[in-house]
Amino acid sequence: MKLKEKVRVFIWLSLQYGLMLIIFLSVLGGCSGSKKVVSSGGAPSSSAKKEPTLQPYEVFGVKYYPIPDSTGFSETGQLSWYGEKFHGRKTSNGEIYDMYKVSAAHKILPMGTYVRVTNLENGKEITVRINDRGPFVKGRILDLSYAAAQQLGMVKAGVVRGKIVALGKEVDPAGRIAGKHDTIVEPLVFGSESFTVQIGAFSSRSNAESLAERLKVIFSPVEVSPYVSSDGRNLYRVWVGKLKKLEEAQKLEKRLGEIGFEKAFIIAIN
């Protein structure tokens, strides 16, 4: 073996040993963060704790990562509707599904988000509030209640091509009762959403920073993000990567799992 190759092997082995040592120390020093909670950034993730519908979930072997903020969200694809089979059952946010009221299900938008829905086949539009998860059929982006589907003129067709645009948050609950959807939605400024992979939350800042330094040899960027947990503890999260597409974040999550970070998970950041 040539000298240059020996040096490369030595560096690689040293790196792997260092990574495993830090993992071992983090367990002894109080490593937290095995729970998959979507966070919106450096602030405490208390909102995620209060809102369980923001936690990642899996359906039919596919992972979904709800985003904490609908800012700038738009999507084009197939619209569908669901009715009598689910009438009277609980929705994902705990409400009772009423097929004769206007509502909708989306896979990752925050519960309570209002979206403008357009049936691209006839031009009809409607504003609906997300209160459920779905649809879990490839190509479909939104499941509408029977009442919403009626207003969009798509009951008979069942599935139509459409577009959804997130409008914003509810600012006047009384207005919703009166059915004045357009007047109670606060428009959002279009922005962007990024994804990163969290590999742990450490009680020791030095352990978190040591791990981050070693990871920087292979990955970029690597960041230590401090925050205060719901029980008042100071923790230091180690984040790897900053990606625009969820698919890229999923590949990074898988790669990190292959080198020993099996509890790594994706979070959405602003």
Please state the CATH superfamily assignment of the domain spanning residues 28-56+193-269 in this structure: Sporulation related repeat (3.30.70.1070)
More reliable by pLDDT, 56 or 170: 56
pTM of the prediction?
0.50
Q: Which residues contact 217 (CB under 8 A, 6 or more apart)?
A: 15
**Could you tell me what percentage of the chain is helix, strand and coil, using 3-state DSSP and rounding each to the nearest 5?**
30, 30, 40
Burial (CB < 10 A; 0-12, 13-18, 19+), residue 220, is exposed
CATH number of 70-187: 2.40.40.10
Q: Across residues 65-93, what is the average pLDDT?
A: 87
Question: Residue 249 has what pLDDT?
Answer: 82
Q: Report how far residue 23's alpha carbon sits from residue 159's, in angstroms, rounded to the nearest whole number.
A: 49
Domains of the chain, by residue range, sit at: 28-56+193-269, 70-187
Instruction: Tell me what the mean pLDDT of segment 37-48 comes to.
Output: 31
Condensed to tens digits (0 to 9), the pLDDT of residues 188-202 reads: 333 345 788 888 888
What's the sign of the alpha-carbon dihedral 101, 106, 109, 114?
Answer: negative
pLDDT digits (tens, 9 = 90+) for 124-153: 999 899 999 999 998 899 999 999 999 999
Q: What pLDDT is attached to residue 245? A: 80
Average pLDDT over residues 207-235: 87
* CA 211 – CA 219 distance, rounded (Å): 12
Is 70-187 in the same CATH topology as 28-56+193-269?
no
Is residue 185 pLDDT above 80, yes or no? no
Q: What is the pLDDT of residues 2-38, one digit of tens each?
A: 555 554 545 555 555 555 544 444 434 334 333 333 3
% of the chain beyond a pLDDT of 90: 34
